[in-house]
Amino acid sequence: MDLLSDVLRVARLTGGVFLHAEFSAPWCVASQLAPEMCAPLLNGPKHLIEYHYIVEGTLLARVAGQPETTVTLQANEVVILPHNDVHHLGSDLQLPAVDSAELAVPIENGLYRVTYGGGGAPVRMICGFLGCDFTHSNPVLASLPRILRISVSDDGEGAWIRSTLRYAAQEIAAGRPGSETVLAKVSELLFIEAVRRHVGTLDEGEVGWLAGLRDPYVSRTLGLFHGDISRPWTMDDLAREVGLSKSALAERFQRVIGKPPMSYLARWRMEVAAQRLRSTNATLANIAHDVGYEAEAAFSRAFKKAYDVAPATWRRESASG
């Protein structure tokens, strides 16, 4: 099965474009996506991801306080902040950073505009977002760096990203019916493409969930878990299916993923259960059964240990949020 798609399905990605920005040198702004900036299009996501598509010009970007994350961005490149960190953008990052939220002027249809700078070399960008049900224990989010950059040139794999981003901006600016749905899909596809490209750049010896996709034994184990989450898996079962000894598989999985196989499975079951509690009316007993628990009481204890609240309370609070 497609492991990445399975994890992202549980995360329930949605999003859109929220800002057109025009800057001119010298300039430097600080940015962090706040829920109110995308409130017209999202309702209470657990996590926000911000991205910027550079239409024209060259600029620098880095996560605040982390100079090692500095990247140079040019036209037709996208920078993604998977953890929604405060970040600085500008022609010169040594300048005092102005809060971009203070510069944003609402226009219509949930869209904002920023015009700022000293009149020198211009930069134009489109800024967008993703809202999702990621928690910091989500395996994809935990594996991503603080900053991701991808190129979207006219040819090859980047062509569709460039054309759809430009189309997305036109859609929201024009306020055409159905544009919110279009923008949600554009943002989702952009994020998935960025994650896939990131996986392709990982070096041998890298660790984390995404690195596990490239390890034949670890990815096979993950596929077994995700393909049949309710099965009462044992290390004997896994070793037989994967073709390694129990000790070799346990060591390899721990080294790459950072936790033992059964600990990963237990946590993933809770992620799936939380998504079902939030998005369906299924009974606790049914959810418990679907994620591998024979008894509702045992499921409730495990869920409370993972989320610090009982599943019924979590469902009620999620609905009200």
Higher pLDDT, 251 or 1: 251
Q: Is it the case that residue 268 has pLDDT exceeding 80? A: yes
pLDDT value at position 237?
A: 96
Over range 209-226, report the average pLDDT. 93
Q: Is it the case that residue 318 has pLDDT exceeding 60? A: yes
Is CATH 2.60.120.10 correct for 3-201?
A: yes
Q: What angle do CA 123, 126, 130 make, to 5 degrees?
A: 145
Mean pLDDT of the chain: 86
Within 10 angstroms of residue 137's Cβ, the number of other Cβ atoms is 13
- For 81-107, what is each residue's pLDDT tens digit? 999 999 999 999 999 999 999 999 987
Over range 204-231, report the average pLDDT. 92
Dihedral sign of CA atoms 159, 113, 144, 71 in order? positive
Question: What are the residue boundaries of the structural domains of the chain, listed by start?
Answer: 3-201, 210-320
Domain 210-320 in the same topology as domain 3-201: no
- For 110-160, what is each residue's pLDDT tens digit? 678 899 999 999 999 988 888 877 665 678 888 889 999 988 765 566 677
- For 9-53, what is each residue's pLDDT tens digit? 777 777 777 778 999 999 999 999 887 777 666 665 568 889 998
Supply the CATH classification number for the domain 210-320: 1.10.10.60
Higher pLDDT, 319 or 252: 252
